[in-house]
Structure 1
């Protein structure tokens, strides 16, 4: 798996989410979306969106508290 690949970025965001201490478990529904010229990892499970991470560079992600409305998917 390439370091900057979508799968690697999703895995990195899920690991960061799990370190946050939330009892909810992410599922295989997590994905990458683009909005306003930025790439975001949406950490999700069957219940819905749990966290959003901004892709920084090619290999890192940073959790954001607010994100573009276009990312609000159910």
Structure 2
């Protein structure tokens, strides 16, 4: 018969990562012309997204939770009137 307690094994240590990557991975182009196209596309798509957000906020403005709703429009008009 065995004498004493059984040895307990330790659980393996968890890996700690510095940064969690989410979303699609993008490989940046190396040529200058392609870099320019990439930056232009990024700028235009962000503009479209902002316009869509503003449009949706205007439609759902009564919620007053989204930026660009009725509340914000009133504040803009008041600021313009003060000038």
Q: Which category of TM-score, normalised to the shorter sequence, fits these structures?
A: under 0.3
Q: Which has the higher contact order (CA 8 A, sep 6+)?
A: 1
Q: TM-score, normalised by structure 2?
A: 0.24
**Larger Rg computed on CA atoms:** 2
Which structure's residues are more often helix, by fraction?
2
